[in-house]
Homo-oligomer: A and B are copies of this chain.
Amino acid sequence: MESINESERKKILLQGNEAIVAGALAAGCRFFAGYPITPASEISEILSVKLPEVGGTFIQMEDEIASMGAVIGASLAGVKAMTATSGPGFSLIQENLGYGCIAEVPCVIVNVMRGGPSTGLPTSPSQGDVQMTRWGTHGDHPIIVLAVSSVADCFSVTIKAFNLSEKYRIPVIILSDEVVAHTRESVTLPDQDQIRIFDRVKPDVPSDWYKPYADNNRGVPDMAAFGDGYRHHVTGLVHDEKGFPTQDSQEIDKFLRRIHTKISKGFQDIQITKTHLMEDAEVCVIAYGSVARSALRAVRDARKLGVKAGLVQLVTLFPFPRKAVDTYLRQCRVVIVPEMNMGQMSREIGRVNQAGCRIVKHNRIDGQLITPEEILKHLTTV
């Protein structure tokens, strides 16, 4: 869906999962720990081949909990790290994911969604894990969730995920789905030197002065790696500026609010939406993931039928791009929200709908990709 600079030389046919690997390697990922699961296994498999080639490390752990632990460990030791799984595995990483949030450890987690709950529909696409990625771990925590809808997205959003993760010291989740993961598309990958890479900011103070959780104007403390000479303490307990556990209400409050505000300070950078034909749209579809592609087709078809339709594609699902969505809720008469779940993002849209725009949910949970026809029907009848 992204306009890519066509060039014979670099054009290749990639599967979604392959493109995530390509994006991760381009972003500087040099550590992967995972546990196989359909439909994410290809990410492990390909990285097991590619990582050693670039001097990185691949390890298959005993389960997803262990994988997430290893990813956090590697990141704390200074290496960009990632894991990839699907719903059942994601349900298992929740505890350590929360650790990543409170200890502010950059890392990327890919969730290639399949039908749930539980073992569910292992080989069918779904978007049933949206709210889970936001709320699955206990306690209030910030998190970033990005969705991919095409092979090109898989590459570029993965890079973005690593960049945000490093910039804000936070776990970033990439939500893919079975359709995107297994679709092959021809894409043109940019040269490595054309890619903007963000690396975590390292401290430059003398080691004695280093406070690993001190606030600054970004709200994101500088981050030393284990072995860098800045001996420090990392814990999953609420901690003070130095990283040591605290029970002091004021320190607690300050810390927990900082890890939330560091994200709100970055909304502009973090909240990504794409629009198609929205300039004069009166009816719009808000969609994400593979469904956004059905939606685009439907919008184009609707235009042909004279309906002023448009598409808002959410790339960032959380922090929910309230501001952007609000604009379109004010612009449009009706908003259609097709999802392969019971309405997990339409909840969010409803929540911010102060304009009182009419919101039409379209939900499919039978393991099939929503078709353009289904959406078109709404577009032409509302």
Contact = CB atoms under 8 A, between A and B. Distances in A.
A65 B135 CA distance: 19
A306 interface: no
Interface residues of A, number: 60
A7 interface: no
A139 B117 CA distance: 4
Contacts of A256: 365-366
Interface in A195-250: 235-238, 247, 249-250
Interface string A283-311: 00000000000000000000000000000
A95 B118 contact: yes
Contact of A94 (B92, B236, B365): B92
Interface centre among A87, A91, A351 (most CB of B within 10 A): A91
Interface centre among A90, A113, A117 (most CB of B within 10 A): A117
A95 B89 CA distance: 8
A341 B140 contact: yes
A329 B126 CA distance: 35
Given A95-B91, A126-B139, A138-B129, A120 B238 contact: yes
A320 B139 CA distance: 19
Contacts of A260: 342
Contact of A135 (B115, B121, B136, B139): B136
Contacts of A250: 366
B135 A118 contact: no
A41 interface: no
A159 interface: no
B139 A247 contact: no
Contact of A132 (B135, B257, B344): B135
Given A99-B118, A101-B118, A119-B237, A91 B252 contact: no
A98 interface: yes
A14 interface: no
A103 B118 contact: yes
Contacts of A342: 140, 260
Contacts of A141: 116-117
Contact of A88 (B88, B95, B113): B95
Nearest to A94: B91
23 contacts: A95-B118, A98-B116, A102-B116, A102-B118, A102-B120, A115-B139, A115-B252, A116-B137, A116-B138, A117-B140, A117-B141, A118-B137, A119-B236, A120-B236, A121-B247, A126-B139, A132-B138, A140-B344, A252-B365, A252-B367, A253-B366, A350-B351, A354-B356
Interface of A: 65, 87-88, 90-92, 94-95, 98-99, 101-103, 113, 115-122, 124, 126, 128-129, 131-132, 134-141, 235-238, 247, 249-250, 252-253, 256-257, 260, 341-342, 344, 347, 350-351, 354, 356, 365-368
Given A90-B138, A101-B118, 14 more contacts: A91-B94, A101-B117, A102-B120, A113-B138, A117-B138, A117-B139, A117-B140, A117-B141, A120-B236, A124-B247, A128-B138, A132-B137, A250-B366, A256-B365
